[in-house]
Amino acid sequence: MTRATITALGQRGEGIVEIDGRRVYVPFTLAGEEVELTVDGERGMLNSVLTPSPERAEPACRYFGTCGGCALQHVSPRDYAAFKRGLVEAALRHAGIETPVGQLVDARGAGRRRATLHARKSGAGYMQARSHDLLNIASCPILVPPLQQEAPRLARLLHAVAGDCDVGFTATATGLDVAVTTPRKLKPEKLVPLAQRPRLARLSLNGDLVLQTRAPAVKMGKALVALPIGSFLQATEAAEEALAGLVIAGLGTAKTVADLFCGVGPFALRIAENAKVFVADSDKPAIAALQKAINHTQGLKPVTAVARDLFRDPLAPVELEPYDAIVFDPPRAGAEAQAREIARSKVKTVIAVSCEPRTFARDAAILITGGYRLESVTPVDQFAWSTHVELVGAFRR
């Protein structure tokens, strides 16, 4: 065993200490703490905290430290907010961008409405920290109340029928959407009895519908959107509202807007209350769901929805010319190809939403080189006690 003092907190939420001239990363520790650890290469396993930091907080979950789902429950609220804001600052600094980063917006709300649990013979839950071994849990406090205990319980029931599987849960306004993924060949009808549970709206197996009692749906602005199987949805309802609010504030008085990588329309449906909107995404079921929501919602400005792969076929400057503003919210890989086309355009306002600060910074550098100014950056926290952070950046030409 080794005694050492933690010097800083790394970007993965692990304490950093130098031992024999090399960095060692120790989970669940804080800067300034004297700890006892076991060293294995650049990894350190915490044995005990000898001198706790005054910023150490009491974990909210009994599984913290064993479960691999949360990394930061031991961090005080003040340092937690600074850490997440720092992730964005570091990404921008690395890309050579000097723009002040706003205060972290707490958008954890009532908890995550989406989760994927692993179901195995040993139980149901998440993988243990730094391990491929399952941690069997009775409940999860970071989830919305309808999922906290029901998700582990239902995952165990599904394992009894489906064997080893992963189970995705989404809590919607009309009930639970449950998606089972397994490599086993399984007759869907074996799952039907489990689909009769009162709060279950839909059950699917490997992307195919097993049974639906009512369409899982979520409210987006004035619209009610029926979710396709496997569609993307912000992890918390509060984050969707916060991100949409920042997007709309950034758009100002824009009357024509292009919403790219639009998904099922969390921004488009709200923007359309005041502006004409063109939307595009490669996810055809998402576009179909968005179009259906548009058709059944009164009081919206015209919305044009198309299925288009913006990675391979980004909108060119001539196609962007009709719009006062652009919104783009790509997956973690970012929107490099589309950003290059936007940088060549004359569109005055661009609002970028991202779940990965590093790819945001790369795309931001492209826009800045093309003549845009990064006016503001706001980090948004929806993944409680994780090392992930969302952000919204507003660019003006």
Question: Do 205 and 295 sit in the same domain of this protein?
Answer: no
Question: Do 329 and 271 sit in the same domain of this protein?
Answer: yes
Q: What is the CATH number of the domain that holds 30?
A: 2.40.50.140
Question: Do 125 and 92 sit in the same domain of this protein?
Answer: no
User: How many domains is the chain partitioned into structurally?
Assistant: 3
Q: Is residue 62 part of a domain?
A: no
Q: How confident is the model at residue 1 (pLDDT cuts 50, 70, 90)?
A: confident
Q: 350, 326 in Cβ contact below 8 A? A: yes
Question: Do 41 and 150 sit in the same domain of this protein?
Answer: no
Question: Do 121 and 101 sit in the same domain of this protein?
Answer: no
Among the candidates 20, 41, 56, a domain finishes at: 56
Rounded to an integer, what is the distance from CA 162 to the centroid of its chain?
28
pLDDT score, position 21: 86
Q: Is residue 97 part of a domain?
A: yes
Question: Do 167 and 99 sit in the same domain of this protein?
Answer: no
Burial 198-208 (b: 16+ CB within 10 A, else e): eebbbbbbbee
Confidence (pTM): 0.95
Residues 188-231 pLDDT 10s: 888 988 877 778 999 999 999 999 999 999 999 999 999 999 99
Strands 373-381 and 349-354: unpaired
pLDDT score, position 194: 80
Structural domain harbouring 19? 2-56
Q: What percent of the chain has pLDDT over 70?
A: 100
Q: Is residue 222 part of a domain?
A: no
Q: Is residue 70 part of a domain?
A: no
Number of residues assigned to the chain: 397
Question: Do 242 and 313 sit in the same domain of this protein?
Answer: yes
Residues 308-367 pLDDT 10s: 999 999 999 999 999 999 999 999 999 999 999 999 999 999 999 999 999 999 999 999
Question: Do 391 and 250 sit in the same domain of this protein?
Answer: yes
Nearest to 160 by CA among 128, 139, 116, 190: 190
Q: Is residue 227 part of a domain?
A: no
Among the candidates 166, 188, 217, a domain finishes at: 217
Phi, psi of 288 (to 5 degrees): -65, -40
Span 232-260, mean pLDDT? 98
Among the candidates 147, 182, 217, a domain finishes at: 217
What whole-number distance in Å separates Cα of residue 230 and Cα of residue 244? 22
Question: Do 206 and 299 sit in the same domain of this protein?
Answer: no
Phi, psi of 305 (to 5 degrees): -115, 130
Span 287-310, mean pLDDT? 98
Q: 105, 113 in Cβ contact below 8 A? A: no
pLDDT score, position 45: 92
Q: Is residue 71 part of a domain?
A: no
Residues tagged active-site: 355
